Each structure stands twice: as C-alpha cells, then as structure tokens.
Amino acid sequence: MNDALPANEPPVIELRGVKKSFGKNAVLKDLNLRVPPGQTFAFLGRNGAGKTTTIRTLLGLIKPDAGEVRVLGIDPREKPLEVRRRVGYVAEDQTMFGWMRVGQLISFIAPFYPTWDHSWATQLSDRFELPLKTRVKHLSKGQGVRVALMLALAHRPELVILDDPTLGLDPIMRKEFLRDLVAHLQGERVSVFFSSHLLYEIELVADSVVILDHGRIVRQAATEDLRATVKRLVAPAEAEQILRGLPGLLDLNRSGRQATAVVEDIAAARPVLSAAGVVAQEIDLNLDEIFEAYVIGRRKEHNHAQADVERVA
C-alpha cells in the first residue's frame, strides 16, 4: 500500500520485490518501498521485523537474495561505496573506537568522505556540545549518539539513515536528539529514513510512515493520511458480525456490551455500517495505536483464521 506519496519525484530509496533469508529464516519477504525526497520517513516495526536488515541492504552491507534496490538512484550492490559516501548513517547501538578522543575520531572519519565540510563539522560539534578532548569510552550514551549523528551529518549527505538511534537513551535525551534532528535536517531539506519502535516520538517528526511486520510492508502512507483514515469504531456487541465483515479490518475486540474494531479506511467502512443500520462511534487513534492495530491486530486475525481452518479440518 503506497498511498498519498508523490509519484513524480525520483525516490531517494526504492525497493522492489526484495527478499532476504538467513538460512531458513526469511527476514525480508517481497519488500516494496518508495521513499520520496525531502521527507522524514519513519520506518516502523517490532524487534525482528526486518528493519535493520533492510537498512543494511540499503547500504550494501547485505546483499539481497532477490529484488531491486536503489538508493539515490544507485544500486548499492554495484556501488556500495558511492552510496555510503552520499548517505549519512547512524547504526543501531553504534559502537565507536573507545580509545579515541572525540576530536581524533572526527579526524579519523573525515578523510573517508570527499564532501566532508570541516566548518559544518565544527558548527555541529559546537551545537551538539561535543567534548572534543574526551575519550569516546568516557562519553555518556546521549553524547555518543550525538557524536554519531554529527559524524553522519558533517559530510552533508543527501539522505540520512538512522537505525533506531535513540535506543537506550532516556526520555529527555530522546527528546533532545529528536529536537536536534528536526532542527538540523528538516531545515536543510535532507531526506531522513528513520527506523524506530518508539512511535510516540516518531509521530512528532515523521512526514510519512511505513509499517513493517515479519519482513513485509503492511502500510505506507503520509502520517496525516494515516491518522485521518485509520479509526477505531465502537458499536453495540450485537453488531460484531457486521464489524467483522468491514473492509480493511485491522483489529476486532468484544468486551461486555461493546464491540470495537479498527479499520484502515474509515471512508470505505461508513457505507457498510450505514447499509447495516449500525451506529458506531468513530475514535481517532495515535500512531502508537495504529501501529498496534496493524501489527498485533493482524496477527490475532491470522491466528483466528488458522484456528478456524484447524477446526474445520
């Protein structure tokens, strides 16, 4: 599902039919993704959904078993170094060289990037208040993430890929990191591909969202569209069967005299409810609840369907 994304601009990231397995474990299953330029793009999924594998594929660190990958129009399998030169990357729980001082680390990394901007690096170091003479191993977690972000930005990348960079940070530090991200990247019109499972934070900065579950994309949409279309419906318990038949049903629960359903397109659900004479209350959802409906709700439905099949058998 790739709704509400501009199709006229060449995408910064494009995946078509990408598959990747590690042994018998299929991690990416026919992954299709299109990231337009200039957006902050949230890549959401639970642990083990395939987020890191996707990102490592984008950087040419992992070769997919099948499918096409393009990053800034380049195939990372053929030109991984070209991709890495033009992309800023902060890895999940990135480990730097502990014995180096922050200044030494910057001097070590800089020569690998032809576009490294020393004055911009100095500005970033000042803004992020990086202690240049402190050894990396003595930095706090928050300082470490800021160093990684500074290193990812100082060569003025066209695309920044962040793999769950706030993992392990306390709430205040996470907010500071996102503040820095918003201030320095969105202002520069740099495309950001941001993987996370902390949705309440992503919600504030993401223009678009893609939800990955078990190696498959279950929804890709602009954040506002997602909020506008995915709704929770609360109806009397007698309407449960009607709710079960709604198009785009993501989750269905019954408690006491009420049945609640989450649908991915409220506009498609309304006529069905009207035709059946069901009066349902529509409730707005935040990104966290939408994600839960897609990831957990679908699994419940899948389990119910399997149980039904087993019963019949």
Partner 1 sequence: MRKLMWKEWHEQSWKLAFACIVLGATALIGMRARIFSDETMMMWVSSLGLMTLPILASTGLVPAERNDGTLETLLALPVQPWRILAAKISMGVMLCAAPIAVAAAASVLITGGRELTVAEMLLFYAVCIFTAICLFSWMLALSIRLPSEARAGLLGIGISIFWLLATAGLEYPSVPAIAWAISPFAMVRELYVEESRKNISLSTVLGIQTVIVVGLWWWTAKHIAGSEQRP
Nearer to partner 1, 13 or 287 (CB): 13
- Closest contact distance (angstroms) between CB of 52 and partner 1 is 5
Determine, following the binding rule CB under 8 A, whether residue 285 of this chain makes contact with partner 1: no
Nearer to partner 1, 29 or 298 (CB): 29
Choose one: 30-38, 102-110, 187-195, 280-288; the region binding partner 1 (CB under 8 A). 102-110
Nearer to partner 1, 25 or 241 (CB): 25
Size of the site for partner 1 (CB under 8 A): 31
Closest CA to 160 of 189, 120, 129, 199: 189
The neighbour count for residue 89, using CB atoms within 10 Å, is 23
Query: What does the alpha-carbon distance between residue 105 and residue 103 come to, in Å, rounded to a whole number?
Result: 5
| Strand, helix or coil for residue 241 | helix
List 3, 73, 78, 108, residue binding partner 1 (CB under 8 A): 108
Describe the crossing of helices 171-185 and 141-153 by its angle, rounded to 10 degrees: 10
Determine, following the binding rule CB under 8 A, whether residue 73 of this chain makes contact with partner 1: no
DSSP class of 219: E
Token pair for residue 149? Answer: 């972000």
Between the two ends of the chain, the Cα-to-Cα distance in Å is 33
List 7, 8, 24, 25, residue binding partner 1 (CB under 8 A): 25
List 3, 10, 73, 99, residue binding partner 1 (CB under 8 A): 99
In contact, 196 and 42? CB cutoff 8 Å? yes
Determine, following the binding rule CB under 8 A, whether residue 63 of this chain makes contact with partner 1: yes
Closest CA to 102 of 73, 74, 124: 124
What are 251's strand-pairing partners?
Answer: 262
- Closest contact distance (angstroms) between CB of 295 and partner 1 is 20
Query: How many Cα atoms are found within 13 Å in the side-chain-facing hemisphere of 197?
Result: 15
Determine, following the binding rule CB under 8 A, whether residue 22 of this chain makes contact with partner 1: yes
Determine, following the binding rule CB under 8 A, whether residue 92 of this chain makes contact with partner 1: yes
The number of angstroms, rounded, from the C-alpha of 221 to the middle of its chain's C-alpha atoms is 12
Determine, following the binding rule CB under 8 A, whether residue 118 of this chain makes contact with partner 1: no
List 66, 97, 171, 188, residue binding partner 1 (CB under 8 A): 97
Which spans of this chain sit near partner 1 (rule: CB under 8 A)? 22, 25, 27, 52-53, 56, 59, 61-63, 81-82, 84-85, 89, 91-100, 107-109, 111-113
